[in-house]
Amino acid sequence: MAEEKKEKKLWKLADDAMMKEIDSFASDYIYFLDHAKTEREAVKEIVKQAEAEGFRNILDTDGLKSGDKVYYVNHKKSVYLAVIGTDPLTEGFNGVGSHIDCPRLDLKQNPLYEDNDLALLKTHYYGGIKKYQWTTVPLALHGVVALTDGSVVDINIGEDDSDPVFMVTDLLPHLAAKQNAKKLAEGVTGEALNLIVGSMPLEGEESESVKKNVLKILEEKYGIKEEDFTSAEIEAVPAGKARFLGIDRGMVTGYGHDDRVCSYPALRSIFSVKNPKRSAICLLADKEEIGSVGNTGMESHNFELFIMMLLEKTGIESPYALQKTFSASNVLSADVTAAFDPNYPEVMEKNNAAFVGRGISFNKYTGSRGKSGASDANAEFVGHVRRVFEEAGVSYQASELGKVDEGGGGTIAYILADRGMNVLDCGVPILSMHAPYEAASKYDIFMAFRGYSAFLEKAEKQL
Ligand code: MN
Ligand code: MN
């Protein structure tokens, strides 16, 4: 593996048949990126695909037996899937855990205003973004507006070729001398991330006529009034489709690789599991980008509820069955890591960086400074995952997010580890993480699928 890593031979391991699989998987992934830009859309698309694969809503089942496939939707923004094994669940499950929320601009609850003949929408950014990247990019609005009569209006504007889009403006270079002299992080402020939503006045109106025109269109097309934004969740995300990147089509660029580039392979890997010995679980959480909090984040005890339902429906009754299950379980925390970027070599330590096209990457630990906040996987468990991957022909590398003391980051790994599971961070290296468009190698995306599939089928109990 080390020699291969040095000589970049890995693509050569792909014969014609495997190249076809890699391309076909990348195309399926691009479809998913285009149809699941928000956590709510991801849940809908995942449930649709899961039902087509024979998964049933666990709430519609009585007893469960080995081979059964079920899912549970947690408040429309996270989803857990399971294939029941032949071993009792208390012997532990094999899981892959990922997240389906992405950095973006959320509309504030009182977003709409008019300023000097333009109507704008105020936003509050979600997740760790570099604010300047979100200016002058065509944006689409996705989300829901919950009305007081109990109905919910779906919003999706900006994806169809005939739809309008939205945009945050930036200062022209001619007048940007002072902006250019500022620190990069201060050149564009959070309160300047306002979207242009209208510019035409409503006829016959004297004051705020542009805003009134926007409200008229919103009422006619969507039946929503200004005060309804109070109970809305509307996300501004880059408009348009994901594409192959490079003349060789070796990479995929699009919005939301972090973490669809791991959550989609995780989903497909649980579809590939047939009659496993240990139960297989795929968990797709919300709110990772803001600390995994809330009732749809990984901290939510609704994941425990799902496991308790599996225990009950497979006939296991024991006061400590839940903890016994967790303590015997193995999970891959499937999240992206930083790929080495030739434009910014100074933040990476090359012996411990992940490289594009060299397979899925292990981060034994995450965190920052002195491994603060890290979930540090046990060496024995990492050794076990290596064996599973090597037997399945999965290319992998081992990396850290960057140089020591350069920065850092976290995933859902520590939350799963807190519950007693063996956890290893293991995901796809990407370029331009958290930017409106991120990039990943289709080889690495396929290796994630292959690795997660092998792990769900073959990982054994670890003590
Ligand atoms: Mn992530
Ligand atoms: Mn992230």
Of the ligands numbered here, which is closest to the C-alpha atom of 413? 1
CATH 3.40.630.10 location in the chain: 3-102+255-458
Distance between CA 319 and CA 312 in Å, rounded? Answer: 11
Rounded distance from Cα 345 to ligand 1 centre (Å): 22
How much is the pLDDT for 9?
A: 62
Of the ligands numbered here, which is closest to the C-alpha atom of 412? 1
Rounded distance from Cα 207 to ligand 2 centre (Å): 43
How much is the pLDDT for 202?
A: 97
Put simply, whether the predicted model's pTM sits higher than 0.85 gets the answer yes
Rounded distance from Cα 133 to ligand 1 centre (Å): 18
How much is the pLDDT for 14?
A: 84
Rounded distance from Cα 289 to ligand 2 centre (Å): 5
Contact 285/262 with Cβ under 8 angstroms?
no
Please identify every stretch of the chain with a pLDDT value under 70, giving residue numbers as ranges: 1-9, 463
CA–CA distances in Å: residue 338 to residues 26, 27, 76, 164: 20, 23, 29, 34
Rounded distance from Cα 289 to ligand 1 centre (Å): 7
Of the ligands numbered here, which is closest to the C-alpha atom of 262? 1
pLDDT in tens, 78-120: 999 999 999 999 999 999 999 999 999 999 999 999 999 999 9
Rounded distance from Cα 456 to ligand 2 centre (Å): 24
CA–CA distances in Å: residue 94 to residues 9, 221, 259, 293, 333: 31, 47, 20, 24, 11
Of the ligands numbered here, which is closest to the C-alpha atom of 335? 1
Rounded distance from Cα 409 to ligand 1 centre (Å): 9
Rounded distance from Cα 235 to ligand 1 centre (Å): 18
Rounded distance from Cα 4 to ligand 2 centre (Å): 29
What is the 3-state secondary structure of the chain? CHHHHHHCCHHHHCCHHHHHHHHHHHHHHHHHHHHCCCHHHHHHHHHHHHHHCCCEEHHHCCCCCCCCEEEEEECCCEEEEEECCCCCHHHCCEEEEEECCCCEEEEEEEEEEEECCEEEEEEEEECCCCHHHHCCCCEEEEEEEECCCCCEEEEEECCCCCCCCEEECCCCHHHCHHHHHCCHHHCCCHHHCCEEEECCCCCCCCCCHHHHHHHHHHHHHHCCCHHHHHHEEEEEEECCCCEEECCCCCEEEECCHHHHHHHHHHHHHHHHCCCCCCCEEEEEECCHHHCCCCCCCCCCCHHHHHHHHHHHHCCCCCCCHHHHHHHCCEEEECCCEEECCCCCHHHCCHHHCECCCCCEEEECCCEECCCECCCCCCHHHHHHHHHHHHHCCCCEEECCCCCCCCCEECCCHHHHHHCCCEEEEEECEEECCCCCCEEEEHHHHHHHHHHHHHHHHHCCCCC
How much is the pLDDT for 8?
A: 57
CATH 2.30.250.10 location in the chain: 105-238
Rounded distance from Cα 398 to ligand 2 centre (Å): 19
Contact 117/199 with Cβ under 8 angstroms?
yes
How much is the pLDDT for 367?
A: 87
Q: Which CATH architecture describes the domain 105-238?
A: Roll (2.30)
Of the ligands numbered here, which is closest to the C-alpha atom of 260? 1
Of the ligands numbered here, which is closest to the C-alpha atom of 104? 2
Any residues with CB less than 8 A from the CB of 196 and at least 6 apart, and which? 118, 119, 120, 166, 167, 168, 169
CB-proximal residues (5 Å) to ion ligand 2? 258
Cα atoms in the 13 Å half-sphere on the side-chain side of 309: 19
Rounded distance from Cα 453 to ligand 2 centre (Å): 23
How much is the pLDDT for 50?
A: 98
Instruction: For tokens 């590939």, name the residue.
Output: 272
Rounded distance from Cα 320 to ligand 2 centre (Å): 34
Rounded distance from Cα 216 to ligand 1 centre (Å): 39
Which CATH fold topology does 3-102+255-458 show?
Aminopeptidase (3.40.630)
Rounded distance from Cα 258 to ligand 2 centre (Å): 5
